[in-house]
Amino acid sequence: MKSIAVFASGRGTNFSAIFQEIKKKRLKACLRLLVCDNPKAKVLQRAQKVGVRIALINPKDFLSRKDFESRIIQELENDKIDLIVLAGFMRLLSAEFVRRYRGRILNIHPSLLPSFKGTQGIKDAYDYGVKVTGVTVHLVDEKLDHGPIILQEAVRIEEEDTLASLERKIHRVEHRIYPEAIRLFLEGRLRLDGRKVRIRKT
């Protein structure tokens, strides 16, 4: 059975969604490790409650990003992690780290990439006034919010939507399509063809 590590810095709702899919046996994997860089993150409580091992690695405790990431790598290797799932991890991984785990790091972003990259994807789309935004799951490469796209789903922004209601709509989609992208990875159905990800039919 494949082992998953979730990287998160905040509330951890995607962590919980993934854990529930594993618990219900809809994902054949073990969520073995939470990597968190924020001692105040609510995701720590979620992981503790369900018994997932926590690696709280605060970058302030390290002299360099290389030392910080070396500690993360040590945790990943100790648990023989097969797949890294970024779920609101508010830290850009180095090119060296990405190359080490190339093809084994997924990220979810709350917009239809390449539009509205960065940490405020929902708010940026809402403030810009677009009528459609969405969610993207992609493989991670050396650039910010840039790697080959696995799944996308559009979300309409209605006239009556507030930023808060749009966030709720986006999160509902995230909690559904992120486990699906993970499932495709675990089943070996993702094939990289240049910049494009092809999904092999069962």
Q: Which residues are catalytic?
A: 109
Query: In this structure, which amino acid lies at residue 109?
Result: H
Separation CA 168–CA 131 (nearest Å): 16
Who's near 161: CB < 8 A, 6+ residues apart? 126, 169
Q: Which residues pair with 155 in a beta bridge?
A: 133
DSSP string for residues in 1-68: -EEEEEEESS--HHHHHHHHHHHTTSS-EEEEEEEES-TT-THHHHHHHHT-EEEE--GGGSSSHHHH
Q: Which residues pair with 30 in a beta bridge?
A: 3
> How do strand 105-109 and strand 83-86 relate by DSSP bridges?
parallel
Who's near 155: CB < 8 A, 6+ residues apart? 132, 133, 134, 135, 166, 169, 170, 173
DSSP-based three-state secondary structure for 106: strand
